[in-house]
């Protein structure tokens, strides 16, 4: 089955700096890679996703890059703000059927300091 | 759009009782819903996949008789924790995928904090 590794487990940046979180996956059949933000006591919120036919996707201050050959993808947050502080999870999934499952990384706790 | 709700958000129950958690997709239909469990400072652990009108598929190690799942309609799935024990205390989160020809996105509910005393 799929295995997703995520690094770092914790990340502290100063407000205005950039943050990068990296994930690797093992199953070459995976073709959908979402990123979720989870605030304390809440459910995960989909913030950006990328499909395997695209190498990069950007949405305002966040971007995701995908390298299918190396089987890794990354989340980039620029101009970080205190409200970006949360736990971020990457995930991977083969889109082979309605019940195909997401495999999550272990999460990165991002702390944006003033 | 793409809102998933859960009810209740928090529940405290006594050991031996049963608790039902509802998961609703508010503005879309979902053929498939997923139930996750999350321990403090850990990732999400998939418990079962729920398909509308059919039996749920449980992950290895998850007791189907303890965690009863019903997916009665395209917008509602329920998880019932039967004969709850303190070790069942956890954060339970549901997720839903929209019914589309090619459905990629998966949206999560706000979670239900279960405490068994």
Q: Supply the DSSP string of A71-99, one letter for each residue.
A: TEEEEEE-S--GGG-EEEEEEEB--SSTT
SS3 B86: helix
Q: B113 to chain A nearest CA, in Å?
A: 8
For residue B44, the chain A residue with the least C-alpha distance is A104
**B30: chain A residues, CB-CB within 8 Å:** none
**Rounded-to-integer distance, Cα B28 and Cα B2, Å:** 6
**Rounded-to-integer distance, Cα B66 and Cα B105, Å:** 29
pLDDT attached to residue A32: 92
Nearest to A21 by CA among A51, A61, A65: A65
End-to-end CA distance of chain A, in Å? 41
Main-chain phi, psi angles of A43, to 5 degrees: -80, 160
pLDDT above 70 (res A99): no
pLDDT attached to residue A97: 67
Q: A18 to chain B nearest CA, in Å?
A: 24
SS3 B97: strand
pLDDT above 90 (res B49): yes
Interchain proximity A102–B106, CB inside 8 Å? yes
Q: A101 to chain B nearest CA, in Å?
A: 8
Interchain proximity B43–A106, CB inside 8 Å? yes
CB atoms within 10 A of CB B82: 15
Q: Which of B32, B43, B46, B98 to mutate to test the interface with A (most CBs of A within 10 A)?
A: B43
**Rounded-to-integer distance, Cα B117 and Cα B111, Å:** 19
Query: Where residue B1 falls among pLDDT bands split at 50, 70, 90?
Result: low
pLDDT above 80 (res A96): no
pLDDT above 70 (res B102): no
């Amino acid at each position: 089955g799929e295995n997703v590794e995520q690094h770092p487990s914790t990340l502290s940046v100063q407000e205005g700096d950039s943050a990068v979180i990296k994930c690797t996956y093992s199953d070459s059949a995976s073709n959908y890679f979402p990123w979720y933000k989870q605030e304390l006591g809440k459910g995960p919120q989909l913030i950006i996703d990328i499909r395997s036919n695209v190498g990069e996707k950007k949405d305002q201050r966040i971007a995701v890059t995908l390298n299918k050959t190396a089987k890794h993808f990354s989340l980039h947050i620029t101009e970080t703000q205190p409200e970006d502080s949360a736990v971020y999870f990457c995930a991977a999934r083969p889109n082979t059927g309605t019940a195909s499952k997401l495999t999550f990384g272990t999460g990165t706790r991002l702390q944006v300091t003033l | 759009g793409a809102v998933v709700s859960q009810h209740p958000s928090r529940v405290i129950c006594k050991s031996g009782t049963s608790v039902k958690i509802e998961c609703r997709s508010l503005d879309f239909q979902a053929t498939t819903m997923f139930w996750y469990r999350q321990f403090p400072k850990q990732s999400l652990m998939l418990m079962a996949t729920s398909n509308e009108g059919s039996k749920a598929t449980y992950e290895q190690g998850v007791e189907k008789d303890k965690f009863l799942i019903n997916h009665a309609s395209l917008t509602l799935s329920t998880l019932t924790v039967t004969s709850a024990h303190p070790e069942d205390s956890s954060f339970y989160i549901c997720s839903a995928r929209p019914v589309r020809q090619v459905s990629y996105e998966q949206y999560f509910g706000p979670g239900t904090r279960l405490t068994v005393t």
